[in-house]
Amino acid sequence: MRLLNIAAGSLLIFALTACSTSPTGRSQFLIVSPESAIQQSRGAYSQAVEAIREEGQIAQDPLLEARIRRIAGRVVTAAVNDFPRSANWDWSVVVVEDDETVNAWCMAGGRMAVYTGLFEQLKLTDAEFAQIMGHEISHALANHTAERMSRAMAIQLGLIAVSAATDGSQSAGQGAELLAQVALELPNSRTAETEADRLGMRLATLAGYDPEAAVTLWQKMSELGEKRPPEFLSTHPAPNDRQARLNAMIPSMRSLNPTGSKLPATEIIIVN
């Protein structure tokens, strides 16, 4: 009973204190702070890179690395201009040699991964790749990592309370840990995806890339998905109206950078 009271009390405290506002002005439920998410992502990134290295999948392609560094670096410059707190992030990217996997991601704190399948399967233009990086970087800027971790922690606390109310068995505790891990790997919410679409399009445009590429990118994603759903789509739900919504944003985005002038590229560490 004491454990149940503690768990219930913790849930109440979190519910009362965990409301926060995202950098884009949206209300967020954050048990895990953005700073904690960055710290925990540092260790997770190291483990992910080590696993990629052990599989011999770190790409060794100087031309591709230069392209990624140039385009992503410009998007990062736009991100730092809009969100100065990210100037001190550890901006880095590991290029994964996997032509079958169409995916990219950015953890809290600016640690990224790009899979060669993006280029092999989609034949990306520079502007389309900029849209991908803008979208992924936006997830980090908008504290979506902390948001997903908070959701997982809330689920875990809820299961602890249920376990304490029943028999408090070890298996229930193990189930809480497992479900929390699953929650961390679930896709972002549709709200978070829409937020990343808009912010990512803005960053790519400010970096100097045509916003229309957001539409052509998702057209390519949809066409590829008809043959074989890419990994990117498994973590980025695409509602039927996504292309229409992106297309409607093009005029306002283009007004941000009418001449398409390119920003200088922030130096990004390529992980080898």
Catalytic positions are 136
Question: What's the token pair of residue 149?
Answer: 């971790």
Residue 267 has phi, psi (to 5 degrees) of -70, 125
Nearest to 69 by CA among 267, 271, 262, 272: 267
H helices of 18-61, in order, are 34-54
Residue 206 near residue 263 (C-beta atoms within 8 A): yes
CA–CA separation, 107 and 113 (whole Å): 9
Of 106, 103, 80, nearest to 92 by C-alpha is 106
Residue 160 to residue 177: CA distance in whole angstroms: 10
| CA–CA dist 219, 243 (Å, integer) | 8
Separation CA 126–CA 65 (nearest Å): 13
